[in-house]
Amino acid sequence: MEKSATEDFLIRKFREYYKSTELYLPNEFTHREFGFMFFKGDYVQRHLGFKTRNEVKRFLLDRAPSHVYYSSAYYERPGAPTMDEKGWLGTDLIFDLDADHIPRVKGLSFERQLHEIKLELMSLVDDFLLDDFGFAEDDLLITFSGGRGYHVHVRSPRVRSLTSPERREIVDFIQGTGLEAESAFRKRAIHRTRYGSIFRLEMPKPDDGGWSSRVHKGLMDFVGRLEKMPKEEALEMLSEFEGIGEKTANEIHASLFDGVAGKRGVDRLREGRFDFFPRDSYRNHLVKVAVKHTLEKYHREIDEPVTADIRRLIRLPTSLHGKSGMRVIILERGEVDDFVPLRDAFPETFGSDPVGVVVEQDVAVTLKEEKINLHEGITDVPEFAAVFLMCRGLAKLSEKEERK
C-alpha cells in the first residue's frame, strides 16, 4: 500500500504540473516519435505520433507519465509500429553527458557530480561544437536532463543525414580516440638524402585549432607543473610514464630546466622551439607525455551510443524526470554558468507545504537552498523535497498523508 500511495501522490503532482505548464514541443514535432514511461508499470510505450499540441497535452494529463521522450529522428510516419515502416527523414545530432560516464565523479555528492558535469558541458559546447565544428549557438538546444546530466541537441540541417559511423567519428574526435604525436605535431623535413627525407617534429601552435592547439596547451601546462615542483617530485612524475626510466627522466628534466648558453630549454619551448634536446629520443618521450596529458585533461566523456544512434529517444524539454521530480530545462549558453539544478530545476507547482514521508535512509542534500538533513523514520518535509525524495526512492508517503 505504501508504494501504491506514493505512486498515486507522484502521479497527482506530475498531473498538476502538466496542467499548469507551457509545454515545449520540438521543431517539426509531427514528424517525431514519442515515448513514455509510467509510475505504475516498468515498460516504455513508444511508436506514438501526435498531430497537434492539444493531443500531446491531453495524453500528459490523462496518463501523467514519469518520463517523456521524443525521437531525435524525423519520420514520414512517426506513429508506425516498426522502424522500417516509419520512413526515416534524418536525425538531429545529440550529445548526452551524464555522471555515469565520467569516472572522476564517482563517490562525489549529488551536488558535486552536477557541478562537474556542467564543466564537461561548457567545454563540449565552447571548445568543440562552437569552436572546432563551427556550429552557431542558434544551432544548439542545451538542456538540463532533469537527472544527473545535460543534453545538447544540434539541430542544423548539416547534420541530419549523417550516418551512425559518421556520428561515431564525431565522438572519436571529441574523445581524442586514436590521438598520437604524429597527428598533433608537424613533421618538417630537415635533410634529404637519396634514400628519402629525415623529419623532425615541430611544436604545434596555439592557433592551429583542434587537437593541435590542445596538445600545445597540454604540453605548456605539463612543463609548467614540472617547473613548479621540487626536482625529486618532478622526476618521480616523469618516471610514472611508460618508457621513461630514472636516467631518461633526469635527462628530460635537465634539458628543460638547466640553462644552456644562458637560456633554459623550457623558455625555448615557450618560444615554439623544440631543438634544445641533446637526443631526439628525449624530445619524443616528452611529446608522448604531452599527448597523454592532453587527452586526460581535454577529452570529453560523452555517451557514444546516444550520439551514434539515428533513432534515439531523448527527454522532452519542460517535461519532468521521474527519478528526481525536476524539470528538463532549456538553457541558453549564457545561462549555464550560473545554473544550479538543485536550486533552479524544481517547478513552482511543487510548493513548500509540509508533506509527511517515511525516510528510507539518511539523507543530506541542499534543495532550493534549503538544507535537508534527515534520518530514517517519519518526518515532514516541504512538498518539493517530498517529490524529490520519493522519485529518488529515498522516501515513501506516510500513512498520515495517505489518510488525508
Structure-block grid coordinates of residue 145? 536532463
Cell 506516510, residue located:
398
> Any idea how long the chain is?
404
- What single DSSP character describes residue 392? T
Does an H or E element contain 116, and which? helix 110-123
Question: Using DSSP, how many helices (H) and how many strands (E) does the chain show?
Answer: 16, 17
Q: Which of 151, 145, 60 is nearest to 324 (CA)?
A: 145
Measure the CA–CA gap between 298 and 293, rounded to whole angstroms: 9
Position 281: which residue type? S
Residue 303 falls in the annotated catalytic set:
yes
Out of 84, 96, 131, 208, which one is annotated catalytic? 96
Query: Which are the contacts of 361, defined by CB distance < 8 A and separation ≥ 6?
Result: 376, 394
Residue 98 falls in the annotated catalytic set:
yes
Measure the CA–CA gap between 97 and 120, rounded to whole angstroms: 8
Q: Are 97 and 117 in contact (CB under 8 A)?
A: yes
Give the DSSP letter string of 318-341. Answer: TPBPTTT--B-EEE-HHHHTT--H
Greatest CA separation for the chain: 94
Q: Are 212 and 206 in contact (CB under 8 A)?
A: no
Cell 590521438, residue located:
179
Out of 303, 338, 353, 380, which one is annotated catalytic? 303
Measure the CA–CA gap between 297 and 291, rounded to whole angstroms: 10
Give the DSSP letter string of 40-95. Answer: SSS-EEEEE--SSHHHHHHHHHHH--SEEEEESEEESSTT-SSHHHH-EEEE-EEE
Out of 98, 132, 139, 280, which one is annotated catalytic? 98
Position 374: which residue type? L
Measure the CA–CA gap between 120 and 100, rounded to whole angstroms: 13
Active site (catalytic) residues: 96, 98, 303
